[in-house]
Amino acid sequence: MSSETDESLITLFEDANLLAVHKPAGIPFHCDDLLQGIVQKVRLQFESEQLFPVHRLDKMTSGLMVFAKTQASNKAISEMLQNKTIEKYYLALSTKKPGKKQGAVAGDMVKGRRGSYLLRREKTNPAVTRFFAKALDPMLNKDTELSTKEGYWLFALKPETGKTHQLRVALKSLASPILGDERYSGMKADRGYLHAYKMCFDLFGQRYDITDENFRGEAFSLTSLSESNDFRLPQKLNWPKAAFKLDNKQT
């Protein structure tokens, strides 16, 4: 039986400017010693080297990946990302209750040991993540290895920056590590439960609102995720402000 990483990629949206696909969890961004990377996989499946990834997703992360089909669209989207005019939304699951149900996580990120990252209190060049959290129904199947008395917590996440491991570190800082993210103390699971859900932006006079509702994994199928309609329309949420003061840079 083939795994999802061996299957053809699902096309979410395509026009003359963009191609959006569903990236399965477990596929790296670039090829590694064992697996074909998502960039190479897309270019092979769609028979074009002129497909440019406009953002990155970690190997454990599933969901929406957007590729520019022209140099012009690639340049325009890169500028929008730099100017923070693209709205990106993620969904994540945790088995741990957060200290608060909404707010913002901000702080400088530095490399730790063995590829992990740490969040600092300093805010010279901070990673900024806004979030909402809500409790989901407990597991429906008591025999599953993912059974938990506390049930699940669903997070809607809106990153304002694009740092490596930003969302994973942000949830760990809230004492709610992502389910399956063992690097950051998450409960062991069949996958890491972080999903790139939606992107909203304007390009060449057209409004793009692209969503990936391909929720794969045991925990997604056993929770009341389908009833969380407010989190599934994240662009309509009244997101908490990320109010903080930048620290002065040292020269």
Find the catalytic residue in 15, 32, 58, 209: 58
Residue 123, amino acid: K
Q: How far apart are CA 160 and CA 163, in angstroms?
A: 10
**Residue 164 DSSP code:** T
Question: Do residues 208 and 88 touch, judged by C-beta distance below 8 A?
Answer: no
Whole-Å CA distances, 251 to 108, 125, 192, 248:
17, 14, 39, 9
Q: What is the enclosing helix (H) or strand (E) of 198?
A: strand 194-203
Q: What is the enclosing helix (H) or strand (E) of 10?
A: strand 10-14
Judging by DSSP bridges, how do beta strands 87-94 and 127-135 pair with one another?
Answer: unpaired
Has 58 been annotated as catalytic? yes
Long-range contacts of 232-240 (CB under 8 A, 24+ apart): 232/197, 234/89, 234/156, 234/158, 234/197, 234/198, 235/87, 235/89, 235/198, 235/200, 235/209, 237/132, 237/156, 239/130, 239/132, 239/158, 240/102, 240/103, 240/104, 240/130, 240/131, 240/132
Residue 8, amino acid: S
Report, as residue numbers or ranges, the catalytic residues. 58
